[in-house]
Amino acid sequence: MSAIIGTCLGVFAYASGNIRFAEYLNIMYIPNLGELSIFIGALAGACLGFLWYNSYPAQVFMGDTGSLMLGGIVAALAIIVRKELLIPIFCGVFLVENMSVVIQVSYFKYTKKKYGEGRRVFLMSPLHHHYQKLGYHESKIVTRFWIVTILCVVFAIVTLKIR
C-alpha cells in the first residue's frame, strides 16, 4: 500500500517539477522537483521486488524498520511536494488501522476501570487481525486493503480540483 501511495506522490512530484504539467493541471510549480521521481522510481522498484517475494506464502518479512522507513518516506514526499493535507486521505487504511488500536485499548481500559474487567470492541487489533479472527484469508484481506488504498488515492486526486 505504501508503494501505491509513494508512486502517486512521485507522479505529483514529476508534475510539480515540470512547468508545463504544473500549469496544465493548475498545481504549484516547484523547480527541480522532477529529479525526485528517480528516487521514487527506485522506491517503487524496491517495493515491487519486496512484493514479489512477499506474495502468499511470504518468504521475506519487512518488520518495523522497513515499514517505518516507508511511512517516513511517504510523509517526507508529501511535505516536499506540498500535499501534506492529503496524507489522511492517501493513508486512509493506515489511519483506520491505527485508530482501531486506539479504540481497542481505550475501550478496554475504560471498561476495566468501570466494570472490573476489560471488554473489547474488536476480536483483535489492529483491524486486519480482527478480520483474520472472523475467518477471512490473509490474501483476501490484503487485496481488499489494496483496493481501498487505490480508492483513497483516487479520491485524494479528485479532491485537488475542488476549490
Domain ranges (residues) in the chain: 1-90, 95-163
Task: From 76, 74, 128, select the one nearest 100 (Cα to Cα).
Answer: 128
DSSP 10: H
User: Could you tell me if 88 and 80 are in contact, meaning their C-beta atoms sit under 8 angstroms apart?
Assistant: no
- Whether the per-residue pLDDT at 118 is higher than 80: the answer is yes
pTM: 0.81
CA neighbor of 77 nearest in space, from 7, 155, 154, 156? 7
Alpha carbon distance 19, 30 (integer Å) = 8
Per-residue confidence (pLDDT) for residue 111, from 0 to 100: 95
What crossing angle do the helices spanning 2-17 and 138-159 adopt, rounded to 10°? 20
The dihedral sign for the CA sequence 59, 65, 66, 67 = positive
pLDDT tens digits for 122-161? 999 899 999 999 999 988 998 899 899 989 988 888 877 6
Question: In angstroms, rounded to a whole number, what is the distance separating the alpha carbons of residues 139 and 26?
Answer: 39
93-116: per-residue pLDDT in tens? 989 999 999 999 999 999 999 999
Tens digit of pLDDT for each residue in 30-75?
888 878 888 888 888 888 888 888 877 778 888 888 888 988 988 8
User: Can you tell me which residue has the cell 522537483?
Assistant: 33
